[in-house]
A and B are shown apart, each in its own frame.
Chain A
Amino acid sequence: MLTFENVTKIYSGNKKAVNNLNLEIEKGEFICFIGPSGCGKTTSMKMVNRLIEPTEGRILIDGKDIMKQNRVQMRREIGYVIQQIGLFPHMTISENITLVPKLLQWSKDNRRERAKELIKLVNLPEEYLDRYPQELSGGQQQRIGVLRALASNPPLILMDEPFGALDPITRDGLQEEFKNLQRKLGKTIVFVTHDMDEAIKLADRIVIMRDGEIVQVDTPDEILRNPANEFVESFIGKERLIQTRPDVKTVGQIMNKIPATVHKEETLSTAIQRMKEKRVDSLLVIGEDQTLEGYIDVEDIEENRKKSTLVGEIVETELYRVKEDSLIRDTIQKMLRRHTKYVPVVDDDNRLKGIVTRATLADLVYESIWGDEDDN
């Protein structure tokens, strides 16, 4: 419903605020523009209602070029919420909410009706309609700011860091409330923010920008899972990557590919020898073609060294194993629950591919936290 076609904005002094932006936004989509200050996210948004006019390229709403429409008329059909709330201090809440309907010349009764309807959406009492903005708290004011954008029921709403000026607790509540509202009303939202948490929480798709260009456009999950480059990674932040890494990576990516093994046809003394070399207390037992048979540990050998000579005779076959594409998160949970020290990784034909040990997990956590610093 909203299309950016090769949109470029050049401010005086040849500074390219937005460079060749291409983006297609679907109806009902919640899009967050995010990036460091000066990345062109706000400029991109303000070009939609022509508070800033593009230098080159076209912006289409429902296929219609915005530059060919009456600017004032067009703005009335797009909701707009700004960070500083911008409620008119000399108008009552009711007058503020129904400003656009008034511009559209709705009757007084209709406007009042609409104001009552809207204030219910955010669970504020109807008495507030006759109060003035400064008599409300910041959070309440911004609720009204959002309602004002909804008043004439526009299909598209632009929001410029609307919750940025609020305290964290209020902001959290309001985000929640607003996301629900958006789902319920099916509005298309273009939302500018510099807060990644906010974007992840609210957006259907996130547009990450830098220096006037799009770096990555994707769902929050996909961005967390596959950051396009280091910039995106650093922008998402290390803490978030740690949180997501166990969720998104598979066992195959972190396993130790050369586990300590012994063939079932080998002797117990060979097995002991290998344990000593590798400094481990158990070995995975493999058969023909790397098939995983089970394991033996040092106690088994100790107990049976008089009776048996071959590994295959005493192998313990009761063994929990995982597939290469298992999620790390699940694997960790299972390891912890079963108190096992390691889990062998196999393919579909039960061939041994590698092993995940507690040491592997320690490495993973270490990399997430300090890995980047080691690179430098």
Chain B
Amino acid sequence: MDALIQFFQEQGSTLALKTWEHLYISLIAVLLGILVAVPVGILLTRFERAADTVIRIISIIQTFPSLAILAFFIPILGVGKVPAIVALFFYSMLPILRNTYIGIKNTDKNLLEAGRGMGMTNAQLIFSVELPLAIPVIMAGIRVSTVYLIGWATLASFVGAGGLGDFIFDGLNLYQPELILAGAIPSTILALLADFILGRIETKLTPTTRSAQQETA
């Protein structure tokens, strides 16, 4: 207990800063991932033939060792937060893209035909039928992505991006297990927290299909 108090006294502000950096790197990467992967995923449902190829390429990127990717961006983007965010962004793509694609693609064909037959435009179909109905699947992709990214973001410290990874690497170098824990535990908590919050957002975004009256009944 004393050790813990002592740790917070000595490293408290550093911990807060590192946690913030960590969160910041992961969230920016996920946000970029959503911004790119969701539209691309929707687009792919319109170009079925390209879909397979694109998803395969992104799956291959996913299999690259994360350290290698991070290192790979150093000559191009230098060190610091930018290469870390870019690398993590690539990682976030796959789950979001794949889930968006599958979610949209699995929309009941009858609904699309009914909508189209009644005179909905392509955009209206996407925004008022396909996207709302695919929300649970897309959000699942985003949650998976976010949780992974928060874990992987510890490696960002390797390219000088900071974050909770700094503690872990210091701990490794100095052979101080408590420092490793100081990095690992907050990062785990962050991941759990993010998943929880995203779950709430998912519930909020998922369109209702039952009236309140029936729910209580």
Contact = CB atoms under 8 A, between A and B. Distances in A.
B207 A90 contact: yes
Given A84-B110, A90-B133, A134 B209 contact: yes
A90 B208 contact: yes
Contacts of B115: 86, 88, 99
A72 B133 CA distance: 22
A358 interface: no
Q: How large is the interface on B (under 10, 10 to 19, 20 to 34, 35 or more residues)?
A: 20 to 34
Nearest to A96: B114
A76 interface: yes
Given A86-B113, A132-B210, A76 B119 contact: yes
A204 to B, nearest CB: 23
B209 A80 contact: no
Given A72-B119, A90-B132, A100-B118, A51 B113 contact: yes
Contact of B210 (A49, A85, A134, A158): A134
B56 interface: no
B111 interface: yes
B208 A51 contact: no
A65 interface: no
Contacts of B211: 92, 130-132, 135
Contact of B116 (A51, A134, A158): A51
A333 interface: no
Contacts of B209: 89-90, 132-134
Contacts of B116: 51, 75
B129 interface: yes
A74 B120 CA distance: 11
Contacts of A76: 118-119
Which of B108, B119, B120, B210 gathers most chain A CB within 10 Å?
Answer: B119
Nearest to B121: A72
Contact of A86 (B114, B119, B207, B214): B114
A232 interface: no
A72 B120 CA distance: 7
Nearest to A46: B117
A84 to B, nearest CB: 4
Which of A51, A84, A92 gathers most chain B CB within 10 Å?
Answer: A84
Contact of A49 (B117, B120, B124, B129): B117
Contacts of B113: 51, 82, 86
A117 B114 CA distance: 22
Contacts of A92: 211
A80 B111 contact: no
B176 to A, nearest CB: 53
Nearest to B120: A103
Contacts of B214: 131-132, 135
Interface in B168-212: 207-211
Nearest to A103: B119
A86 B110 contact: yes
Interface in B103-140: 108, 110-111, 113-121, 124, 129, 132-133
B118 A103 contact: yes
A73 interface: yes
A153 to B, nearest CB: 14
A77 B119 CA distance: 8
A160 to B, nearest CB: 9
B210 A99 contact: no
A82 B119 CA distance: 14
A183 B207 CA distance: 38
A9 interface: no
A218 B124 CA distance: 40
Nearest to A75: B119
A148 B118 contact: yes
Contacts of A87: 114
A51 B112 CA distance: 11
Contacts of B114: 80, 82, 86-88
Contact of A80 (B118, B124, B213): B118
B121 to A, nearest CB: 5
A72 B114 CA distance: 13
B173 to A, nearest CB: 53
A99 to B, nearest CB: 6
Nearest to B113: A82
Interface string A125-169: 000001111110000000000001100000000100000000000
B137 to A, nearest CB: 14
A137 to B, nearest CB: 13
B90 to A, nearest CB: 33
A90 B117 CA distance: 18
Given A90-B208, A90-B209, A135-B210, A75 B129 contact: no
A15 B209 CA distance: 42
A73 B119 contact: yes
A89 B133 CA distance: 8
Given A82-B117, A100-B118, A132-B210, 8 more contacts: A76-B118, A86-B115, A87-B114, A88-B115, A90-B208, A92-B211, A134-B209, A135-B211
By Cβ-Cβ distance, the 5 closest A-B pairs, closest first, are A86-B114, A76-B119, A90-B207, A75-B119, A80-B117
25 contacts: A49-B117, A51-B116, A72-B120, A72-B121, A74-B119, A76-B118, A77-B119, A80-B118, A82-B113, A82-B117, A86-B110, A86-B113, A88-B114, A89-B209, A90-B132, A99-B115, A99-B120, A100-B118, A100-B119, A103-B119, A103-B124, A130-B213, A132-B209, A132-B214, A148-B118
